[in-house]
Amino acid sequence: MKKLTKKQLIVIGELFESGGDEAGVAKKYKVSNKLMRQWLKQKEFQEELAYKFASANRQSRLLLAKYIPLAAAKLVELCASEKEETARKACLDILTIHLPKNISQKNEDKSVEQESEGLSSNLSSKLLAVLADSK
């Protein structure tokens, strides 16, 4: 297995830090278009890029996971909003997030039951309280 050069590793790192500005990174590190294309065809270069993509994806998912409870709590709060349209949209957002995308009439009860198992008990309690108050 051929190892990547220090310059290749720097270029890959810079691609992620620059937001993917391939032309800008190539110019900054004096890498010709031809050489960049050769690198992009190289198995090791592709593998390193794939590793960086996976790492960035993991970091993004972890960051989002950290804020999901806050976003859910905010949506639940908005369900109780005095502004009818705001409350309606918040309720729809919650339902959209937690209901299966393809509910068939035949399996509706089963699917909803399975999905509700995925809601935290805290979120379920808040949703039920808001719905009870609205009646």
pLDDT digits (tens, 9 = 90+) for 59-80: 999 999 999 889 889 999 999 9
The structure tokens listed for 85 are 């349209």
Residue 106: pLDDT band (50, 70, 90) is very low
Task: Note the pLDDT of residue 94.
Answer: 86
| pTM of the entire predicted model | 0.56
Please state, in angstroms and rounded to a whole number, the distance separating the CA atoms of residues 120 and 122.
5
Q: What is the DSSP letter of 119?
A: S
pLDDT for the residue numbered 129: 62
Token readout for 24 is 């800008």
Q: Please choose, from the candidates 61, 64, 56, the residue with its C-alpha nearest in 3D space to the C-alpha of residue 16.
A: 56
DSSP 8-state class, residue 106: T
Tokens for 127?
């949703």
Structure tokens at 61: 């998912």
In 3-state terms, what secondary structure has residue 115? Answer: helix
Contacts with 59 (C-beta within 8 Å, 6 or more apart), sequence order? none
